[in-house]
Chains A and B, each alone.
Chain A
């Protein structure tokens, strides 16, 4: 008995190696126990089982036994060759044993009591001969068509599962989906450890395969329906990439490729590894913005992957060349890769897988998807949201800077995107719109949100010029920001005003100059006048001094007895005006 004792913190698990399935099952299938995989025809039960065995051998070195009730070993080998599984080689290496069990009602006559010990012996022999750890019984229900005694059959199947558990092999049992039941023969009642349901659904002519873990005793597991695909590499289950929201972030800034746009962000660009959404109505240069971003990435020498869902690569390159962005050299250098496909070519999941695959191959630093809104045409809003969530999450985990464009219709655009829930997924949301005035349309860009970065709140008008996108300076008119012809008028008006103001200033300067000169002249006059007055005063002073001196001399002479000489010095004159 290999069942885990309750003290063990974690049920021992056998990883399947199938992309995504181990995430959903939190590590794999219950080790040493049977797992039931049920589903309707064509949903890949056999494929999943075979992949479980092959991956078990290749990745975990656990040999496996495949008991095929429906197909012969050769048929099976042929069927999975396209996935790159070489069953023959694995069989030759004694890692795999394929045992075809043929049950034909017409050949068998039942008389009296019997049991299925033969099956046990064959299985036991197969397991022991290669030391198998994994067993697949595909599809054990075929036994029901071969034997008529249900009572014996059921008790034998019960015994078989018990026996497999005792053997300690991890087993997958496949079964057809029944009406109302998980399986046609009610096998789920025998397998109590893990039941996985595969579903194949056609909605709007597009097939989506989904996987759900109905139960997994003793383990946590994802409970949702997870889309899965049968790809060239086998089954690929796409959980919400990781069940956790924990990815590393970068503090590095990358340019948007439009310098004016970079300046609208406080840190002049976008965070590396963030995702940006550009929404806008038709003809608002979303693709051009996307191409500018791609081009900038290539200029930095980074690899960029451009998914074009509207234009062919050639068309895109030609159109971008017309606005001065030449992508061709980078395509030739291998830095830029343009992947164009019609959205309706595949289902959503297939698109997602294609994107995953290309990203895995190309390992780009930047990804542009233009536009994501076209994918809506291949699925419902819920599905698209689910897909985009996974995609964005995947890109973030990979640390890829992503830019998506989305076409929106008219007025309730913002609302729509919010409904699709995309806005909450992206870090930065730019909105380009038509600023429609009288007789003209102008393009405006604004930042609706930018996580973790201050940004401009203005709607900036921009032009698509021969040299790419150019953001125009903000012009504020009497009634707010003006654009287009209004901007032009405003500009002319401002120029006229500026000229008038300039002339006014000059006129005033001249006036001042004139006044200055007048005043200076007046000052000169006054100074001259002052000088002449000063001269006169000095003259008067000197005469006065002379006169007093004369008087003193006269008095001295009088005192010395000398008669004053008549007509002596003028200073002696008493009246000299």
Chain B
């Protein structure tokens, strides 16, 4: 699992407060726990609305963990660090 590159997608709709907060939070957690092992893609649905269907996006912002499987989704501004890490299943990889 250590070898694996985490693929994360953050769906936002424009530069709302929630989106900006979520992105900032996410970047912070990734740098802390997945430094160098992740790829983050930010999708603005206002620009690409057709992409919403593929990942079954309803809520904004939504963070989708594509890899490693299974797909996990976390919605909200990601302000609760513990829940984000549990949601993404990052905790076991954080023994340091």
B57 at the interface (CB under 8 A from A): yes
In chain B, positions 32-73 with a C-beta closer than 8 Å to chain A are 45-46, 49-50, 52-53, 56-62, 70-73
Select which of A99, A107, A112, A146 is within 8 A of B72 by beta carbon.
A107
Contact with B along A91-107 (1 / 0, CB 8 A): 00000000101110001
Q: How far is the CB of B70 from chain A (nearest CB, A)?
A: 8
Let me know if B1 is at the binding interface, CB within 8 A. Answer: no
- Complex interface: chain A residues within 8 A of B52 (CB): 118, 121-122, 125
Instruction: Verify if B23 is at the interface (C-beta below 8 Å from A).
Output: no
Nearest to A149 among chain B residues (CB) is B76
Is chain A's binding surface mostly helix, strand, loop or mixed? mixed
Say if the beta carbon of A361 comes within 8 Å of chain B. Answer: no
> A116 on the interface (CB 8 Å rule)?
yes
How distant is the Cα of A124 from the Cα of B46 in the complex, in angstroms? 10
What's the interface size class on B, roughly? 20 to 34
Extra inter-chain contacts (13) besides given A107-B72, A117-B59, A118-B58, CB under 8 Å: A108-B74, A109-B84, A111-B83, A111-B84, A112-B18, A112-B77, A116-B59, A117-B45, A118-B13, A118-B60, A122-B52, A125-B49, A146-B58
| Interface: B6 (CB within 8 A) | no
A99 to B73, CA, bound (A): 20
Chain A residues with Cβ under 8 A from B80's Cβ? 111-112
Within 8 A of B (CB), among A63-80: none
Residues of chain A lying within 8 A (CB to CB) of residue B75: 108-111, 114, 147
* A-binding residues in B (CB < 8 A): 11, 13, 18, 21-22, 45-46, 49-50, 52-53, 56-62, 70-80, 83-84, 86-87
Interface residues of A in 391-420 (CB under 8 A from B): none
Q: Which of B18, B56, B78 contacts A115 (CB 8 A)?
A: B18
A interface, CB within 8 angstroms of B? 99, 101-103, 107-119, 121-122, 124-125, 143, 146-147
Residues of B within 8 A of A122 (CB): 49, 52-53, 57-58
Residues of B within 8 A of A114 (CB): 18, 59-62, 75-77
CB neighbours (8 Å) of A99 from chain B are: 53
**A147–B60 CA distance with the chains assembled, in angstroms:** 12
Interface centre among B18, B56, B75 (most CB of A within 10 A): B75
Is there an interface contact between A113 and B79, defined as CB atoms closer than 8 Å?
yes
**Pairwise interchain contact A121-B49, C-beta atoms closer than 8 A:** yes
Query: B76 near A119 (CB under 8 angstroms)?
Result: no
Q: When chains A and B are docked, how far (Å) is the Cα of A111 from the Cα of B72?
A: 13
Q: Are B78 and A117 in contact (CB under 8 A)?
A: no
Residues of B within 8 A of A143 (CB): 58
A/B interface sample: 29 pairs, CB < 8 A: A108-B74, A109-B74, A109-B75, A109-B84, A110-B76, A110-B83, A111-B76, A111-B83, A112-B22, A112-B76, A112-B78, A113-B77, A114-B61, A114-B62, A114-B75, A114-B76, A115-B60, A116-B59, A117-B45, A118-B45, A118-B52, A118-B58, A118-B59, A118-B60, A119-B59, A122-B49, A125-B49, A125-B50, A147-B59
